[in-house]
Amino acid sequence: MAAHGERLLQDALRDLASALTATGARWMVIGGIAVIARGVRRFTVDIDAAVRGDEVDIDTLLAVFAKKRIVPRIEHAARFARENLVLLLRHVPSGVEFDVSLAWTEFEHAAIAAATVAAFGSVKAPMARPEDLVVFKAIAGRGKDMDDIAALLALYPKLDLSLVRARVRELAALADTPELARGLESAIESRLAVRRGSRSVKASSPRKRPAKKSRARTTSKSPKR
């Protein structure tokens, strides 16, 4: 990521964090920024966040955002948010775009409660945990989301996969998209196959025997006469 672009993202995230904190509602960063903050090396140009929809109303959000020069990037943004549960915004000073989701599901509320503070550059903010990011990415289901899942599984091999699977199956069923759960299983199996292959290579590597120390020959000298 270019240094200038990263500075713009940090500036935008700083203002977003300040605005969301000012609402008093619980929130967290999701998407590419959170994935990067959790250690994955990848590129992003926008910022995604989720705020509890039962703790703040859309008009209040828009008023608070306006103080940080965060404005709607579409017409009738409030109406769109009420219908689709996401505010589409732009940070005027940097040009960075935001998608701020209104969190209403039990999973989203639990994920926000479990979020921990992590850093993106010089900015610290509540970020979704790796296992919750895997769930979000599985539900999004795009190619780059599958790449993020693979990277997170590699970085965090001890994730609670049973919990992740249960959450994804539940959300996929609610959305009537069972293929999303199958996509997660494919990503998990691919990662497990890589891990098994790595262990197999290590197990089959011949062990080098320590070299025997050569013993110097001793020659008996004839006694001088």
Is the domain of 172 the same as that of 146? yes
| pLDDT tens track for 42-57 | 999 999 999 999 999 9
Instruction: Give the pTM.
Output: 0.84
> What CATH number does residue 51 fall under?
3.30.460
- pLDDT tens digits along 133-168: 999 999 999 999 999 999 999 999 999 999 999 999
Same structural domain, 122 and 169 = no
User: For the segment 88-120, what is each residue's pLDDT rounded down to a tens digit?
Assistant: 999 999 999 999 999 999 999 999 999 999 999
What CA–CA distance (Å, rounded) separates 76 from 74?
6
Q: Are residues 115 and 21 in the same domain?
A: yes
β partners of residue 103: 52
* Same domain flag for 24 and 122: yes
Angle between helices 130-140 and 106-114 (to 10 degrees): 150
Cα dist. 29→36, 105, 133, 201 in Å?
A: 11, 16, 10, 39
Structural tokens at position 203: 């197990």
Answer yes or no: is pLDDT of 75 > 80: yes
Q: For residue 220, what pLDDT is reported?
A: 43
Q: Tokens 């992590």 map to which residue?
A: 118
Residue among 129, 93, 108 nearest 18 (CA): 93
Structural domain for 6, as ranges:
1-128
Mean pLDDT in residue range 72-86: 98
Question: In this structure, are 165 and 101 located in the same domain?
Answer: no
Residues 115 and 149 in one domain: no
> Where are the strands (E) in the chain, listed by range?
27-30, 46-52, 70-72, 86-91, 97-103, 116-120, 123-127
24-34 pLDDT, tens digit each: 999 999 999 99
122 and 140 in a single domain? The answer is no
110-122 per-residue burial string, b: 16 or more CB within 10 A, e: under 16: ebbeebeebebbe
